[in-house]
A = this chain, B = another copy of it.
Amino acid sequence: MALIVQKYGGTSVGTVERIKAVASKVAAARERGDGMVVVVSAMSGETNRLVSLAKDICKRPDPRELDVLLSTGEQVTIALLSMALQEIGCPARSYTGAQVHILTDSAHSKARIRDIDDARVRADLDAGRVVVIAGFQGVDESGNITTLGRGGSDTTAVAMAAALKADECQIFTDVDGVYTTDPRVEPKARKLDRITFEEMLEMASLGSKVLQIRSVEFAGKYNVPLRVLSSFEEGEGTLITFEDECMEEAKISGIAFSRDEAKLTIRGVPDQPGVAYSILGPISGANIEVDMIVQNIAEDNTTDFTFTVSRNDFPKALEILKETAQVLGAREAEGDDAIVKISLVGVGMRSHAGIASKMFETLAKEGINIRMISTSEIKISVVVDEKYLELGVRSLHDAFDLAAESSE
């Protein structure tokens, strides 16, 4: 008997009919002999309805009270799903985050899980019951209701799977798995059967919104095999697993990209120790996160310094950078928010040389000018003009033969 934790998001439980469909799926898995724990989100639309009630009361609702309010969304779903399971003869019992002791810190609306007491869940599993747990929520040491923030139901599922040492944590979403790249940009994109945690983290952080980054980190840390599947279609989905179990031996798993990018440059900064801090200090002081950073020393012993930020932080960041330029006696500060980031991701890079040069060659052949480069152990990212996004992604997808069942 395997122990499976499944998670269904808001769309998957968005109507009474869909809740019934989820119940059938869960009951079928239990019939096959698996122990089943199911984590659910609020019905789609419910969280927004509750938020708008709060906004009608006050502009900035108290975070503690907002968590009390929002946590009712999942509580409704667990009750309905348990009823639906019982209705088809499948014993089931629901638990709120507080009831199953998902202990978190007290950071309302973005709490982190500290501990889970799995005794109650195990007792129900031993009694043959499906355990239905409210995602997204927990309770702090003083008994206050907390929420984990948007997408936190994934984290709940992974944390439950880790606490129970489950055989697999299955995240049901509206996509049927992780793809080599976004199929809307490259129709030849191929669904991956497996991907490593590290690759998934890079893909997720670059805008593949299949899974919450925190839940992937969590799963990796606690060795929980994670699977992404579709709620609406049959299929095996994509298994996110550990490197040494990965049989495909691909150099490159996928191509991620992000449109949410803007680039800022300050030129002719007199070079001296601490110049990077002088430039970036005021930026992070304004709570703006910086992603890629490139610094060149020019011949006249001045520095050109370029970095990227999220596109909606761009106006503010440029304003700050212009002030900094005056303070530092720099030549100029300028920016560009018509850029995108394209990244090759794959653990195979570690052992295979020549990936970077092949990437640059491919882009050069298409006449795509690379504006910035940044590399990590399993990722190469380039910044290019926004207009080259589709061309860049497709040509790289071709060059690295990602559409083939087993890539080179």
Contacts and interface: CB of A to CB of B under 8 A. Distances in A.
Nearest to A78: B68
Interface residues of A, number: 37
A65 B69 CA distance: 19
Contacts of A75: 68-69, 71-72, 75
Given A76-B72, A83-B61, A83-B62, A99 B143 contact: yes
Interface stretch (A50-58, A330-338, A377-385): A50-58
A106 interface: no
Given A83-B61, A84-B58, A68 B50 contact: no
A65 B94 contact: yes
Contacts of A50: 76
A19 B99 contact: no
A53 to B, nearest CB: 6
B87 A57 contact: yes
Nearest to A142: B120
Given A16-B56, A75-B75, A83 B65 contact: yes
A58 B83 contact: yes
Interface string A71-88: 110011011101110110
Interface string A118-139: 0010000000000000000000
Contact of A53 (B16, B62, B71): B16
Given A65-B83, A65-B86, A75-B75, A57 B93 contact: no
A93 B144 CA distance: 10
A244 B67 CA distance: 47
B72 A84 contact: no
B57 A80 contact: yes
A93 B58 CA distance: 16
A154 to B, nearest CB: 22
Interface of A: 16, 19-20, 50, 53-54, 56-58, 61-62, 64-66, 68-69, 71-72, 75-76, 78-80, 82-84, 86-87, 93-94, 96, 98-99, 120, 143-145
20 contacts: A16-B53, A16-B57, A50-B76, A54-B79, A57-B84, A57-B87, A58-B86, A58-B87, A62-B82, A62-B83, A65-B83, A68-B75, A68-B79, A68-B82, A69-B79, A69-B83, A72-B76, A75-B75, A99-B143, A99-B144
